[in-house]
Amino acid sequence: MKKLLIPLLITSMFANAEVVTGVGEYRYGPDTSEESACILAEQMAKEDAIAKVVGEELGTVSFEQCENENCVVQKDTIIDKKGYIKEVITKEVNTNKGIGYHSCTVSIRADVQIDKNPIEFKLYNTNYQYNEGDEIIIKGYVDRPGTLLIYTYVNGIYSLVYGEKFAEYNYNFVLPSTQNRMVALLPDGELTSKELMMVLFTSSNRDFKMKYNKAEMETLINSIPFNKRKVINNYIYIMKRGNTVWKTKS
């Protein structure tokens, strides 16, 4: 085993920073050089360090409340923070030649900088339980001009329900607008429905598709700069029958 400890300059001057340890291991065969493997292991260690600081901010919070046989489940995801390595304080590199493979393991102590998303975006809705045929109205606030989009996620597909562009600052919005109604309709056969509704705000000017699969939606969101988008997810619970069919009526 070969071991290398690299001390680096310690200068932490950032109030929103946190010093954490990150570890990454990359296993490789004869077609990969040790140098390349250790570069990849170090990248994995940096990702591990960042996840330790902001991972919970990127996760979800679930809430379930049941009364008799009726349960309401809500899940919110609000991506408010972004982390990046501002400084690597120490780095330890270990290489090991095992049977059938080699490995490079990198352990770092890093100063992870946290950036707060500057967009103020929130929903006023507190109740996401509806009966079949109820009108769905989403109310909220965003502090800058941009585009608001509502997608529902059903059977692995995000489908656009409603979209609106606006130029106002400090905008108290009501979706859909007064010219339209958004109604949850359920096909026959089931008593209840639970669907994910994603509300996306972005100040980035771009075109959006009517439908995305899960991977495409993740790619879309990641392609929008962190300081130009914000996402809120909620589960909507609908009483009565089956999977919700969302329609926008004029």
What are 76-99's pLDDT values in tens digits? 344 456 788 888 999 999 999 887
Q: Is residue 89 part of a domain?
A: yes
| 137 pLDDT more than 50 | yes
Q: Write down the pLDDT at residue 187.
A: 56
Same domain, 38 and 139: no
Same domain, 122 and 211: yes
CA 45 and chain centroid, separation: 21
Same domain, 200 and 237: yes
Among residues of the chain, what percentage have pLDDT more than 90?
Answer: 35
Q: Is residue 17 part of a domain?
A: yes
Same domain, 30 and 142: no
Q: Is residue 68 part of a domain?
A: no
Instruction: Tell me how far CA of residue 63 lies from CA of 75, 151, 155, 235, in angstroms.
Output: 6, 21, 22, 10
| 45 pLDDT more than 60 | yes
Taking only the tens place, the pLDDT of each residue in 65-74 is 444 444 444 4
* Residues 78, 121: Cα–Cα separation, whole Å: 9
Q: Write down the pLDDT at residue 238.
A: 85
Whole-structure pTM value: 0.62
Same domain, 123 and 160: yes
Is the CB of residue 184 less than 8 Å from the CB of residue 130? yes
| 25 pLDDT more than 70 | yes
Is the CB of residue 208 less than 8 Å from the CB of residue 164? no
Q: Name 218's Cβ contacts closer than 8 Å, sequence gap at least 6.
A: none
CATH of residue 156's domain is 2.60.40.2550
Is the CB of residue 239 less than 8 Å from the CB of residue 192? yes
How many structural domains comprise the chain? 2
Q: Is residue 104 part of a domain?
A: yes
Q: Is residue 40 part of a domain?
A: yes
Q: Which domain holds residue 220?
A: 117-249
| 200 pLDDT more than 90 | yes
Confidence of residue 165 (pLDDT cuts 50, 70, 90): very high
Mean pLDDT (the chain, rounded): 79
Give mean pLDDT, residues 214-240. 86
Same domain, 178 and 205: yes
Same domain, 107 and 127: no
Helix, strand, or coil (residue 52): helix
Same domain, 139 and 153: yes
Q: Is residue 97 part of a domain?
A: yes
Same domain, 208 and 133: yes
Q: Write down the pLDDT at residue 64.
A: 43
Among 159, 152, 148, smallest CA distance to 211 is for 159
Same domain, 50 and 161: no
Helix, strand, or coil (residue 119): coil
Same domain, 124 and 239: yes
Q: Which residue has the higher pLDDT, 67 or 143?
A: 143
CATH of residue 16's domain is 3.30.110
Among 231, 229, 230, 227, smallest CA distance to 115 is for 227
Same domain, 157 and 240: yes
